[in-house]
Structure 1
Amino acid sequence: MNGYFADEHTLFKGVKVVPPNSELVIDSEGLEIHDIDNSLNEISTVKPNSEYNNKLKQDYIEAFKAVPKKSKINIGVTGGKDSRLALLGLLEAGYNADTNTRGFLDNPDVQMGELIANKLGLKHRITEPKITDAKGMTVNLERKALNAMIATSGQVYGYENINHQSIYKGNVGVTGVAALSLKGGYSNLNNVNPANPKVEMVKRFLPLDNLLLEGSSKEYQIFLENLVTSDFQNAQYKHALFYRNGRWTSGTRLAKSYSSDIYSPYYDNHFSKSIIKVKKSYLDNGFIQYTLTKKLNEEISKLPLVESRWGFEKDQPTKPENYYSWLNREPLYSLTKMASYNWRNLTLEGNNMFVIVLKKYCCLTHLIKYIKL
């Protein structure tokens, strides 16, 4: 269900997943599938104003109410946009939380995570990767890949901190995962406006067709083409919502629930339906995400990000009078390779094919095949 072909099919012949935003009704008359509401037709139709932004803020806070009260909550915080917004929403909803960041002390994510926690008066824990006596790291890529596959039923390309846990510990965690709905889908595609959207969808989401058995991807190709009902941007956003957030990422994160209760506000159905109504241009440039952050805590919204800026001020401040505050939000970067260590981005000289396979394939047989090669 979380493999190379991200559509409504399953591993079982003739068995499909119920389409997005629909319900399956079985009664004495038989079986029918109905749309739950008109949400999919309302994607990218609302130009946000002050009133609608307040509604988004309230819906966002309500999204945390699924987390049990009086829980001891731990939330990961980095220098990015998603985790700081998740933390602010959690606090605004009335929860107590400790924070943590994984990485070396000179990693800007670690430094910014600690700064955010200190400004909010929260306890913060840093987990550093283990260093050998030779001041190096030994990373067994095969073991990491296999652990991830065992934990996620075959989902290789996910999160480096997902391991197989057989004992339920009962911890409560909140994450900023699955914020694609706030960002207009795949950020690297937000400026792509091809003359032929259907051809572009196949090009982007079926890039390794030449490695598959001839004809095996024909049905998936048709599915991708049919996902285009208006333009490419609308289609890639729907793909991000339904098949990245709704199936791929959620399937990967399910492994976390084997040992703990994990919550993310970005999976809340009501909040998601409010967000997808916003015109995509306000999502693509980070404006809505920044607006929510600012409404929850203006001081935190003014802190710099790691390796990026808010999209709407990427090249220059929005107003001349904001110039000095814009300069103060200069992105933070790692100064050494060690500081920027992240297994997801790890590339070893002479082993590029292995890393590419890890990123592209979700099937153990493919992985073993390329390891042998």
Structure 2
Amino acid sequence: MKSASAAATEAIPLPADRLTASNWTSADGTITLLAWTNEPEHRLVPRPLVAADERVLGYTGYLNEPDIAEKELLETADPAAAVESMGGVFALFRAHRDGFDAATSIARVCPIYFVESDDFCFIGSRALLVHLTARAAETGLTRPPVDYDVMALQPMIRHGFFTNDDTPFRGVRALPADAVLTAAPGRGVTVRERTVPDAEPMPADAAGRHRRVARLAEALVDAAAPLAAHGEPVELALSGGRDSRIMAAVLKAAGVPMIATTHGFADDPDVVLARRIAGLLGLEHRVALTTTTARDDAPDAVTVEHPLLRAHDIVRRCEGMTSAYERVNGWEPYRIVPKTSGSGGETLRGGHLYDQQDLTPEGIRKRVRTIFRSAEGFCTPEANAAADEHLARWAARTDEDGPRVLDLLYLFYRSGRWIVGSHTATTMNTPSYHPFFDNRVVREALALPPGWRASEEVVYLLIASLAPKLGSVPPEGKRWRFEAAGPRRLREWPAWRRRAPVVPKGRTSGFNWRRTFDEPFLALLRDHIMDAPSELWDIVNRRKFEEHFAAVPKGWTNQLWHIYTLSVLLSGVWREPRPELPDVRIPIPG
């Protein structure tokens, strides 16, 4: 317990004096459940540990009906069966005199990590906490060195997140989605994965399609109940994209008051469309403009924090499993202000099928290979060989599952690994809700044919049923897929023309400083990478890196950020106090 407490001060990216600890230990001392929280006591915030008889329960995230669900989880002999029917976004931990259970929901937004040896098993919601506690037990050190599994980092070069259940830390694994782990003294660890729901047949007619979408709409409105319980406006991150407007429609239908916030320049399609959506729904709308060194209406540059600070923060908060290309929240004193966004809406649109044009077996196999072998030129042969182990397993499923393989890969890894970092960072500061990731909503969505979801007709019908006023608002970037080639009926032609997509037109509307930067900014990233520990070059092709980033690149800029993040991770600088470094100015091209 002492080692775990010491590890918690480093692994939980919050000021130690803001953490409150709780614990439970079995009578024989072989099983302990520890919890730390910075959340205040509040009727809508779960207790760190809930005990009954000889069992104790803790969970991350939230349950839709906590009083009923907590009771059931404490009493049930089979947590897997109980989890299947529960609403919410959560991960569960249950200890009792005979052992320990842990369970993930189907979206795995709230993760569980574990490591096992001959003498112990450590399970937790933070991979670094699990790793440092195990390392302390192995070494006897209060602050043990991190033991990286360098080859396991290869997905980070490709995507900036993990496309498997590995972690940066040797021996530490992520529990799969919709799985239950059981551990008991003398009996080791058992992991049971549930079978993903089968998709139902495509409804035969328009009336059937509307009825089927109505079931999903009902599940989404039910999933908004925890937000409605606050009785105050929810902060909705609203963009011009598909998913956040669906969330606005869901909240409106559920009677949840909200305030919409959008980030971007005035000519950004996100700002233009979000303003229109908010106006139609009667929402207060706030726009946060990008910081500039000139007037907001005609900026000539953006000022951003030093990339080392950005990477330092994201490695600390996301444990080396999210690239510094992404931006996650920093720590702030906890506020009971509910927040939500469109995160997770991609599942309603078919996951990776959404942008997959070729649905032949050959096309699916090619896409699966791209997922696991992306950016292979920037990887060493050894790193590519490590990817092939995971590729082979999923490639073998394409013959049986067909296009659904892409649907599941998105759910298990894009949602189940990538979103974890930003979700965790947000929940450090405030209650954060994700109805699209709700356990029951995801199951309801997966029951719809993946090809139908990928057509976007499902989400369009959702909007039309939940907030009809939004049906005429054009999408951002490109047309709805089901009508990309034109209206399906002649009488729909005028409405189809009004739904022409909004695309970037102004100088700043499509500007992304993370991809469009100058030589001085490139040098900041490149020089740090070239000074990285030698282990980095066990997985990164040094020759390819030096050639491609000798000058400001025309492409593959994401890989620059991903590799930079790994250089910061392996250097260990993230374990030291955050340095003081000046902001950096990046010109906006004329």
Q: Same fold (TM over 0.5)?
A: yes
- Indicate if the aligned counterparts of 1:103 and 1:341 stay in contact, CA closer than 8 A: no
Match of residue 179 from structure 1: 345
Match of residue 170 from structure 2: 13
Alignment equivalent of 1:120, drawn from 269, 281, 287:
281
The CA distance in 1 between the partners of 2:314 and 2:552, in whole Å, is 19
SS of equivalent to 2:224:
helix
The one-letter code sitting in structure 2 at the alignment partner of 1:82 is: D
SS of equivalent to 1:256:
helix
Match of residue 257 from structure 1: 427
Q: 1:150 Cα deviation (Å)?
A: 4.0
The CA distance in 2 between the partners of 1:367 and 1:346, in whole Å, is 24
Match of residue 375 from structure 2: 208
Alignment equivalent of 1:188, drawn from 351, 355, 364:
355
Match of residue 69 from structure 1: 230
- Indicate if the aligned counterparts of 1:198 and 1:225 stay in contact, CA closer than 8 A: no
Structure with the higher fraction of residues in strand conformation = 2
The CA distance in 1 between the partners of 2:438 and 2:564, in whole Å, is 26
The one-letter code sitting in structure 2 at the alignment partner of 1:13 is: R
My pick for the range that moved more, 358-367 or 109-118, is 358-367
Whether 1:235 and 2:405 are equivalent positions in the alignment is: yes
Structure 1: any 5+ residue segments left out of the alignment? none
Match of residue 56 from structure 2: none
Cα 1:103–1:90, aligned 2, differ >3 Å: closer, same or farther?
A: same
SS of equivalent to 1:105:
coil
Match of residue 332 from structure 1: 502
Match of residue 265 from structure 2: 104
SS of equivalent to 2:286:
strand
Match of residue 193 from structure 2: 35
Q: 1:197 Cα deviation (Å)?
A: 4.9
The CA distance in 2 between the partners of 1:259 and 1:207, in whole Å, is 35
Match of residue 351 from structure 1: 552
- Indicate if the aligned counterparts of 1:156 and 1:358 stay in contact, CA closer than 8 A: no
Match of residue 92 from structure 1: 253
Match of residue 468 from structure 2: 298
Q: What whole-Å deviation, never above 9, does each CA across 1:240-284 have from its counterpart, x for those lacking one?
A: 000110111122331122222221211111100111121121111
The CA distance in 1 between the partners of 2:570 and 2:170, in whole Å, is 25
The CA distance in 2 between the partners of 1:368 and 1:219, in whole Å, is 19
The CA distance in 2 between the partners of 1:132 and 1:117, in whole Å, is 29
The one-letter code sitting in structure 2 at the alignment partner of 1:54 is: A
Structure 2: any 5+ residue segments left out of the alignment? 1-126, 128-152, 157-161, 520-550, 572-590
SS of equivalent to 1:195:
helix
Match of residue 216 from structure 2: 56
The CA distance in 1 between the partners of 2:462 and 2:477, in whole Å, is 21
Q: 1:357 Cα deviation (Å)?
A: 2.6
The CA distance in 1 between the partners of 2:286 and 2:338, in whole Å, is 16
SS of equivalent to 2:236:
strand
The CA distance in 1 between the partners of 2:267 and 2:370, in whole Å, is 39
The CA distance in 2 between the partners of 1:182 and 1:158, in whole Å, is 25
Q: 1:343 Cα deviation (Å)?
A: 4.1
- Indicate if the aligned counterparts of 1:7 and 1:243 stay in contact, CA closer than 8 A: yes
Match of residue 130 from structure 1: 291
Q: 1:315 Cα deviation (Å)?
A: 1.8
Match of residue 202 from structure 2: 47
The one-letter code sitting in structure 2 at the alignment partner of 1:100 is: T
Q: How does 1:241-280 map to 2 (within 5 A)?
A: 241-280=411-450
Q: 1:325 Cα deviation (Å)?
A: 0.5
Q: 1:231 Cα deviation (Å)?
A: 4.9
The one-letter code sitting in structure 1 at the alignment partner of 2:385 is: K
The CA distance in 2 between the partners of 1:268 and 1:108, in whole Å, is 29
Alignment equivalent of 2:181, drawn from 24, 34, 46:
24
Aligned Cα root-mean-square deviation (Å): 2.9
Cα 1:151–1:24, aligned 2, differ >3 Å: closer, same or farther?
A: closer
Q: 1:34 Cα deviation (Å)?
A: 2.6
TM-score by length of 2: 0.56
Cα 1:279–1:133, aligned 2, differ >3 Å: closer, same or farther?
A: closer
Q: 1:303 Cα deviation (Å)?
A: 0.9
- Indicate if the aligned counterparts of 2:293 and 2:303 stay in contact, CA closer than 8 A: no
Cα 1:107–1:356, aligned 2, differ >3 Å: closer, same or farther?
A: closer
Q: What whole-Å deviation, never above 9, does each CA across 1:2-26 have from its counterpart, x for those lacking one?
A: 9624212233434432222221234
Cα 1:203–1:96, aligned 2, differ >3 Å: closer, same or farther?
A: closer
My pick for the range that moved more, 101-110 or 285-294, is 101-110
Cα 1:6–1:100, aligned 2, differ >3 Å: closer, same or farther?
A: same
The one-letter code sitting in structure 1 at the alignment partner of 2:348 is: L
SS of equivalent to 2:245:
helix
The CA distance in 1 between the partners of 2:358 and 2:232, in whole Å, is 42
Structure with the bigger RCO (C-alpha within 8 Å, sep 6+) is: 1
Aligned residues: 365
Percent identity for Structure 1 against Structure 2: 21
Cα 1:51–1:133, aligned 2, differ >3 Å: closer, same or farther?
A: closer
Match of residue 165 from structure 1: 331
Q: 1:354 Cα deviation (Å)?
A: 8.1
Q: What whole-Å deviation, never above 9, does each CA across 1:313-360 have from its counterpart, x for those lacking one?
A: 112012110000100111112221213334455455752278333454
Q: 1:232 Cα deviation (Å)?
A: 5.2
- Indicate if the aligned counterparts of 1:83 and 1:176 stay in contact, CA closer than 8 A: yes
The one-letter code sitting in structure 1 at the alignment partner of 2:211 is: E
The one-letter code sitting in structure 2 at the alignment partner of 1:176 is: G
Whether 1:319 and 2:483 are equivalent positions in the alignment is: no
Cα 1:330–1:197, aligned 2, differ >3 Å: closer, same or farther?
A: closer
TM-score by length of 1: 0.86
